[in-house]
Amino acid sequence: MNKKYPQNDSRRDFLKKGLIAAAGFYIVPRHVLGGPGHTAPSDKLSIAGIGAGGKGESDIMNFYGGGRADIAYLCDVDDRRAAKMRAQFPKAKYYKDYRELLDKEHKHIDAVSISTPDHMHAVIGMAAMQLGKHVYIQKPLAHDIYEVRMLTEAAPRYKVVSQMGNQGASSDGVRQLMDWYRAGVIGDVTEVFCFTNRPVWPQGIQWPTTKGTVPPELDWNLWLGTAPEKDYVDNLVPFNWRGWWDYGTGALGDMGCHIIAPAFQVLDLGYPTEAECSVGSVYVGEFKQGYFPDSCPPSSHITLKFKGAPGKPDIKLHWMDGGIQPERPDELAPSEIFGDGDNGTLFIGTKGKMMCATYGLDPSLLPTAKSKETVVPQTI
């Protein structure tokens, strides 16, 4: 979206000016009009949900919060995906093209929720911020590191609030891990293992050779967006796009923020100093099927090295996907689950170990009995 619009007064600023101009009128307390707990229309943010299906549904419902916000606009390139939210919010004006939505309605929008395929996050987020709109963008924040840095720089430049969706990032699970570590329970961490069973969609395969028929409810051209033009193929929408570099970011982009984030928060990691990666291949019988660079690998093991804080050892972080897992800790009993079984984060320190499941949930010291026995001050 190339056209740039001047920033507009927020609805609150508009209302404030209106109240000053109408100072002679009596102001009736909100509770008199709406009862206890009532949220006045002037206190509600006007939300536009771009990407109304899938994860977009739960994001929109969380913004709505039973009436705390006004879900004023919905946008999706696929009418099938938008059907549930359109039924939930029949008064919300509906668009298929986010550019048309922002062009026509930007004066009436306070914030934008973006839950589209990865390749469209940055362009939609940037367009909204340039119009002075606060943005909530589902993970991963963008399709590549360059886009992430551009969005990061844009938020303060356009003076907007921005956030990436990452369930569990501020949960008590992560807080508990931080408290144990700050209290020195496991000593200095030297190695972290992050693992997932993803992908649970096709990866490491050749692009389909059979052209599909575009469903009438889907605008395929809008769905492609910034990606190269290609014929529609079956079984790509609404989920299996994650395994193709043109649209998705594979298992790492899908689950990395959920599983690696606890390590960054607990250890206050910065940028890695070294990176190494090995990937798996798809075999049919005894024969390697081939090399398909358009598709994310079926499995990978990435090793990142981080410089330790002053007086602390360097840290090695492992990312494992495709079902690869680190060696099971000896401290776990045979009946106990490692992480959540399919995903988890394991911290190895100089004095002990601790682990958690996806999103930093179910934090535990190892052996697990230590979790209840160990009492440390709450620091955050």
pLDDT tops 70 at residue 1: no
**One domain, residues 103 and 181:** no
What pLDDT is recorded for position 35?
A: 55
Average pLDDT, the chain: 90
| Residue 151: domain span | 11-165
pLDDT of residue 12: 45
Band (18; pLDDT cuts 50, 70, 90): very low
Residue at a domain's end among 165, 185, 217: 165
Instruction: Over range 53-73, report the average pLDDT.
Output: 96
Q: Specify if 161 maps to a domain.
A: yes
176 shares a domain with 161: no
Average pLDDT value for residue range 49-67: 96
Q: Which of 22-26, 119-123, 225-229 has the lowest mean pLDDT?
A: 22-26
User: Does any domain span residue 305?
Assistant: yes
Residue 212 covered by a domain: no
Q: Do residues 182 and 72 both lie within one domain?
A: no
Residue 295's beta-bridge partner residues? 244
The CATH code of the domain that includes 27 is: 3.40.50.720
Distance CA(112)–CA(164), nearest Å, equals 12
Asked if residue 217 is part of any domain, the answer here is no
Model confidence over 340-362: pLDDT tens digits? 999 999 999 999 999 999 999 99
Three-state secondary structure readout of the chain: CCCCCCCCCCHHHHHHHHHHHCCCCCCCCHHHHHCCCCCCHHHCCEEEEECCCCHHHHHHHHHHCCCCCEEEEEECCEHHHHHHHHHHCCCCEEECCHHHHHHHHHHHCCEEEECCCHHHHHHHHHHHHHCCCEEEEECCCCCCHHHHHHHHHHHHHCCCCEEEECCCCCCHHHHHHHHHHHCCCCCCEEEEEEECCCCCCCCCCCCCCCCCCCCCCECHHHHHCCCCCCCCCCCCCCCHHHHECCCCCHHHHHHHHHHHHHHHHHHCCCCCCEEEEEECCCEECCEECCCCCCECCCCEEEEEEECCCCCCCCEEEEEEECCCCCCCCCCCCCCCCCCCCCCEEEEEECCCEEEECHHHCCCEEECCCHHHHCCCCCCC
Domain assignment present for residue 208? The answer is no
pLDDT score at 170: 80
The partner residues of 123 in beta bridges, in order of sequence, read none
Across 83-102, average pLDDT: 98
pLDDT above 90: residue 189: yes
- Same domain for 150 and 287, yes or no, is no
pLDDT digits 0-9 by tens, 114-172: 999 999 999 999 999 999 999 999 999 999 999 999 999 999 999 999 999 998 888 89
Residues counted in the chain: 380
279: confidence class by pLDDT, cuts 50, 70, 90: very high
Residue 6 in domain: no
Classify residue 364: in a domain, yes or no.
yes
* Per-residue confidence (pLDDT) for residue 11, from 0 to 100: 41
Statement to judge: residues 25 and 155 lie in one domain? yes
Does residue 25 have a pLDDT over 80?
A: no
Tell me: pLDDT of 175 over 90: yes
pLDDT value at residue 190: 98
CA 325, chain centre distance (Å): 23
pLDDT at 221 over 80: yes
Boundary residue ending a domain (165, 184, 216): 165
Q: Within this chain, do residues 96 and 182 fall inside the same structural domain, yes or no?
A: no
Q: What is the mean pLDDT of residues 27-47?
A: 62
Residues 344 and 272 both lie in one domain? yes
Write the CB contacts of 107 (distance below 8 Å, at least 6 apart in sequence): 8
Q: How does pLDDT run across 283-316, given as a tens digit for each residue? A: 666 656 677 889 999 999 999 999 998 889 999 9
Q: Say what the pLDDT of residue 289 is.
A: 64
Residue 22 has pLDDT above 90, yes or no: no
Is the peptide bond preceding residue 140 cis, with omega within 30 degrees of 0?
Answer: yes
* Number of domains making up the chain: 2
**How many whole angstroms separate alpha carbon 154 and alpha carbon 163?**
12
Share of the chain above pLDDT 70, in %: 87
Identify the band that residue 263 occupies on the pLDDT scale cut at 50, 70 and 90.
Answer: very high
For residue 23, pLDDT over 60 is answered with no
Q: What is the CATH number of the domain that holds 253?
A: 3.30.360.10
- 141 and 176, same structural domain? no
Q: Is residue 348 part of a domain?
A: yes
Q: Are residues 128 and 255 in the same domain?
A: no
Mean pLDDT of 64-93: 97
Q: What is the pLDDT of residue 14?
A: 37
Q: Grade residue 43 by pLDDT with cuts at 50, 70 and 90.
A: confident
Please indicate, yes or no, whether residues 133 and 275 belong to a single structural domain of this protein.
no
Q: Which of 350 and 25 is assigned the larger pLDDT?
A: 350
Same structural domain, 295 and 329: yes
pLDDT at 292: 86
The reply to whether 156 and 191 lie within a common domain is no
Average pLDDT over residues 207-234: 97
Identify whether the C-beta of residue 253 lies closer than 8 Å to the C-beta of residue 138. Answer: no
Mean per-residue pLDDT, 5-21: 41
